[in-house]
């Protein structure tokens, strides 16, 4: 991807489509929906989508260690571009307090937090797309997200070995970023006699996979938007996730319990009750996205 071209990740698409669904023009001049937007103008508002670009120097270098040189060069260039845009804009907008904290630590910039918990562009969070199948099928674990080192898919295998050893099938839903992570994961799975199926699907086909999985695991070491976790909490019957700040924040907002990885709990994961008394409603989620659009000063459609 050329430097300066906005990424087209599932998360990025969900942001844009959610804003459009509540009536905003994402092509509003002067507003950047991602911090690595082409630096052709001095943006009035910038939305931070990628925590990589606002990590403090030490944390950034630590996360880069396992990546090939070509990946490190691209990440460093994108980070420099992001900082150029962020330091020149009048307003930085973040969707989570976790990312806003990184912006402050790394750049000394106070940003506006416009909480956006779940995407709202093509589904109702009141309706789970698929009930558990009545037909007996082999149980599988679902691991969504780009296959890359910082997402730590290997940790999902480790967790299953310790807590759910009878689950032998794993569906990895995401693109291979070419860093060697997928090959390492496949070798590890073969050593453990696990069956790994890797595929890329759109949201419409992802939600039924959540619903049918025995467990959905999100072991990432770094997240920005947290939308992958929120979708899992809405659609999956059981969710296990890394206890990083963005994940904890999102889980509290969704109003559904998650189990946290990398804790001392012997039961498979610390279970923490959400801060909400009930699961977020569709209208509440739409209200959140309307505030995001307003903070970004987007024009109405």
pLDDT at 178 over 70: yes
Nearest-CA neighbor of 17 among 120, 115, 118? 120
> What's the pLDDT score for residue 116?
93
236-268: pLDDT as tens digits = 989 999 999 999 999 988 888 789 997 654 344
* Angle, CA of 174, 285 and 206, to the nearest 5°: 25
Dihedral-angle region of residue 156 (phi above 0 means left; psi in -120 to 50 means alpha; beta otherwise):
alpha
> What's the pLDDT score for residue 5?
44
pLDDT at 199 over 60: yes
Check: CB of residue 255 under 8 Å from CB of residue 277. Answer: yes
The mean of the pLDDT values for the chain is: 88
Least confidently predicted of 61-70, 227-236, 253-262, 273-282 = 273-282
Question: Rounded mean pLDDT of 134-157?
Answer: 87
Least confidently predicted of 54-68, 110-124, 270-284 = 270-284
Residue 235: pLDDT band (50, 70, 90) is confident
Residue entry with tokens 């699961």: 279
Least confidently predicted of 13-22, 127-136, 254-263 = 127-136
pLDDT at 41 over 60: yes
Residue 122: pLDDT band (50, 70, 90) is low
| Domains of the chain as residue ranges with CATH | 10-120+285-300 (no CATH), 140-280 (3.40.50.2000)
Distance (Å, whole) CA 177 – CA 43:
29
Question: Rounded mean pLDDT of 76-103?
Answer: 97
Residue 150 sits at φ, ψ, to 5 deg, of -70, -15
Question: Rounded mean pLDDT of 175-194?
Answer: 96
Distance (Å, whole) CA 162 – CA 148:
22
């Amino acid at each position: 991807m050329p430097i300066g071209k906005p990424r087209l990740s599932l998360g990025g698409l969900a942001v844009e489509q959610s804003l459009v669904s509540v009536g905003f023009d994402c092509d509003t001049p002067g507003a950047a929906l991602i911090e690595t937007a082409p630096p052709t103008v001095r943006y009035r508002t910038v939305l931070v989508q990628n925590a990589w670009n606002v990590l403090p120097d030490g944390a950034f270098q630590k996360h880069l260690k396992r990546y090939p040189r070509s990946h490190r060069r691209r990440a460093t260039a994108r980070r420099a571009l992001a900082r150029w845009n962020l330091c020149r804009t009048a307003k930085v907008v973040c969707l989570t307090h976790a990312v806003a904290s990184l912006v402050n630590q790394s750049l000394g910039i106070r940003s506006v937090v416009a909480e956006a918990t779940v995407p709202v562009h093509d589904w109702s969070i009141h309706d789970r797309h698929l009930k558990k199948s009545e037909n007996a099928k082999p149980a599988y674990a679902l691991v969504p997200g780009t296959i890359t080192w910082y997402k730590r898919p290997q940790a999902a295998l480790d967790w299953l070995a310790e807590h759910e050893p009878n689950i032998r099938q794993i569906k990895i839903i995401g693109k291979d970023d070419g860093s060697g992570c997928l090959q390492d994961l496949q070798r590890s799975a073969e050593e453990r006699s696990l069956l790994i199926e890797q595929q890329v699907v759109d949201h419409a086909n992802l939600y039924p996979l959540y619903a049918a999985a025995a467990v959905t695991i999100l072991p990432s070491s770094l997240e920005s938007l947290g939308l992958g976790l929120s979708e899992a909490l809405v659609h999956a019957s059981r969710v296990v996730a890394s206890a990083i700040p963005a994940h904890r924040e999102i889980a509290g907002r969704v109003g559904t319990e998650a189990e946290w990885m990398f804790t001392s709990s012997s039961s498979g994961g610390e279970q923490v009750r959400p801060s909400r008394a009930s699961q977020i409603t569709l209208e509440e989620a739409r209200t959140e996205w309307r505030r995001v659009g307003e903070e970004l000063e987007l024009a109405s459609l």
